[in-house]
Amino acid sequence: MHLDPFELYQPTTIEEAVRLHAEHADGSDYLAGGTDLLPNYKMHLNLRPHLIALGNVAELEGISLDRVGAMVRLADLERDRAFASSYPGVGEAIREIATPLVRASGTVGGNLLLETRCFFFN
């Protein structure tokens, strides 16, 4: 398995990320933790030539009781004490996901927006 070349963009605002996505509507993906997208690319599934990495978009970070950023790591949300005491079911659900390593890189946005994990479907 190997990664084919792609063009990488590193926007710092949501506005810039959305604009890049619109400019490359014919072939771009957002990249968060990469735990789902990059293995798919290595298997040559749904390959796109433009990757828009969201790691530098500060607006997508942060946890409060009424807002969770799309780039919050699953492990960080699970460990957040204030959030866990208000929403214990969320932490319980996160602990069921994959492994600690995947949860340390995988984000909330990526978990909600990934393609099905079924290799045959993909």
Ligand X SMILES: Cc1cc2nc3c(=O)[nH]c(=O)nc-3n(C[C@H](O)[C@H](O)[C@H](O)COP(=O)(O)OP(=O)(O)OC[C@H]3O[C@@H](n4cnc5c(N)ncnc54)[C@H](O)[C@@H]3O)c2cc1C
Contact residues: ligand X, CB under 6 A: 29-37, 54, 70, 74, 97-98, 102, 105-107, 109-111, 113-114, 117
Least Cβ distance, residue 28 to ligand X (angstroms): 9
Edge to edge, what strands does the sheet with 50-53 contain? 7-9, 50-53, 28-31
50, β-bridge pairs: 7, 28
Q: In sequence order, what are the residues at sequence separation of 6 or more whose Cβ sits closer than 8 angstroms to the Cβ of residue 83?
A: 63, 65, 68, 77, 90, 91
The nearer residue to ligand X, 82 or 104, going by C-beta atoms, is 104
Least Cβ distance, residue 38 to ligand X (angstroms): 7
The nearer residue to ligand X, 54 or 68, going by C-beta atoms, is 54
The nearer residue to ligand X, 65 or 113, going by C-beta atoms, is 113
